[in-house]
Amino acid sequence: MIRNYVVTISSEKGGVGKTTLATNLAIYLKALFEDLPVILLSFDNHFSVDRMFRIGAKQPPREYSNFPDVSNLFHGTLIDLLTETGEYGVQFIPSSAKLNQLRRNLDDCTVLAENLAHSHFNGILIIDTRPDLDIFTENALFCADRVIVPVKDAPSLENCRNIYAFFDRHKLSRKSLRLLPCLVDARIRFEGPFRDPYQLLKAYAINRGYRCLDGYISKSPKVESLNTNPDGKIYPVLTHGKNTEVHAQLAHIAKQVYHDAVEEQSRRLDEVRSSQSKSQTQKQPEEAIFRVTSERVSFGLLQK
């Protein structure tokens, strides 16, 4: 059984396909590996995850409601108390309209990791982030075993350096980071050694010392249309885009993520638990010394 493997989808550039990748990756993982628990959450406030996965007519949470949502992860609520069973067998945590309010009081990128470390969940958790390296994205990066960074052009590739800088600043291993060319237009051809946008983006990434996942995600009008329809729903590629190149590409990416989770025995959350344990062990002697010192002071005052 795969246990507590965290995949974060992150890019500071909007419109690179983060949410499409996160939601469809969850569905493909569940379809390919039926017994695998898959949990999905999003720190973006467009409620795409809720619209795609919620079963029935239950309404998304509102700012005035006590409905449990992703904001509760920063108040110590365990993940298993927040998940709903959604469409396609994917579990999801409801999105939140309260994150902007919470942001003002949150300045620690370790909060999510520390809470997830107490949860001990099984399977793969996928986190969709905002197009911004804000405190919620930093929390999602800090707890990740695999970070997938979608890039579609030179500006989105340049923005990757900020994610790498975050990892360096917090002494996190870069080996978890992988770039994925997305929305690649296969009709474009270049002269020279790099014949298309995929090869060019991959060459640029390697030249900067970045690792890439094997493969890419094509630009597809059919896939883009799945987000806009009279029903107001968001449809997955698996059920409505099997005739596209993206179908096979997403299956390929899902298999990579699964096999990485199986082969990689260490877990980022295990490191967090170990750090918490060491911190607690160091704290106990300090508390004991303080208690003994306080007792001696009190006793001395009584003697006087």
Beta-sheet strand order (sheet of 146-151): 84-85, 91-92, 38-42, 124-128, 5-9, 146-151, 177-181
Same-domain status, 168 and 303: no
Identify the pLDDT of residue 300: 54
Host domain of residue 282? 268-304
User: How many structural domains is the chain composed of?
Assistant: 2
The whole-model pTM stands at 0.89
Same-domain status, 79 and 20: yes
Identify the pLDDT of residue 279: 74
Residue 227 confidence class, pLDDT cut points 50, 70, 90: confident
Q: Quick one: DSSP state of residue 92?
A: E
Ramachandran category for residue 260: left, alpha or beta (phi over 0 → left; psi -120 to 50 → alpha) = alpha
Q: Quick one: DSSP state of residue 126?
A: E
Same-domain status, 113 and 245: yes
| 269 touches 10 (CB < 8 A) | no
Same-domain status, 168 and 33: yes
pLDDT (tens digit, 9 = 90+) per residue, 238-276?
Answer: 999 999 999 999 999 999 999 999 999 899 999 999 988
Residue 182 is part of a domain; what is its CATH number?
3.40.50.300
